[in-house]
């Protein structure tokens, strides 16, 4: 099975942006919601710009599939 970790691309980190650690659990299906924090000066993120990437890795042992409340989410989902 596979899980993922969303990371900010270094170019945008150098501009002052940051994102909290975002783990994509094994078995998750849906759209990923990211929280982006700005820095000391404005940075414009235009549609389609590659500001983050996902590092995928294999899960060893018996995987525990994601069955949380955000399974299958589309768009931004408020905390439940």
Residues labelled catalytic: 35
- Distance, in Å, from the CA atom of 42 to the CA atom of 16, rounded to the nearest integer, reads 9
CB–CB of 5/59 below 8 Å?
A: no
Cα-based distances in Å from 1 to 11, 34, 68:
31, 23, 17
């Amino acid at each position: 099975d596979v899980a993922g970790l969303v990371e900010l691309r270094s170019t945008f980190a150098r501009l002052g942006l940051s994102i909290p650690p975002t783990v994509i659990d094994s078995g998750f299906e849906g759209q990923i919601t990211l929280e982006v924090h700005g820095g000391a000066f404005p940075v414009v993120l235009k549609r389609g710009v590659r500001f983050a990437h996902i590092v995928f890795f294999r899960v060893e042992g018996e995987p525990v599939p994601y069955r949380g409340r955000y399974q299958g989410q589309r768009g931004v989902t408020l905390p439940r």
